[in-house]
Amino acid sequence: MSNFAQPPLEEQVTLLELVDRVLNKGVVLTGDIMLSVADVDLVYVGLRVLLASVGTLDRLQSEATA
């Protein structure tokens, strides 16, 4: 791994970064999967609490249905 003059990664993993990466990006599975955040609206209920932002929520929902 590279060694940048930055804080340790565990300190960088803010909620914001988790939203930007873990919750909003990555390969999305659909189909026979038992549960995938991509094809279940439920996560947006959770994210409503998490984000407390109508604008962001609208974007997530429009991405989910795109």
Q: Which residues bind another protein (CB under 8 A)?
A: 1-2, 4, 6, 9, 12-13, 15-29, 32-38, 40, 42-43, 45-47, 49-53, 55-56, 59
Query: Which CB sits closer to another protein, 50 or 61?
Result: 50
CA–CA distances in Å: residue 23 to residues 3, 36, 49, 56, 60: 26, 11, 14, 13, 10
- How far from the centroid of its chain's Cα atoms is residue 22's Cα? 5
Of 65, 15, 66, give the one whose Cα is nearest residue 40: 65
Question: Shortest gap between Cβ of 65 and another protein (angstroms)?
Answer: 13
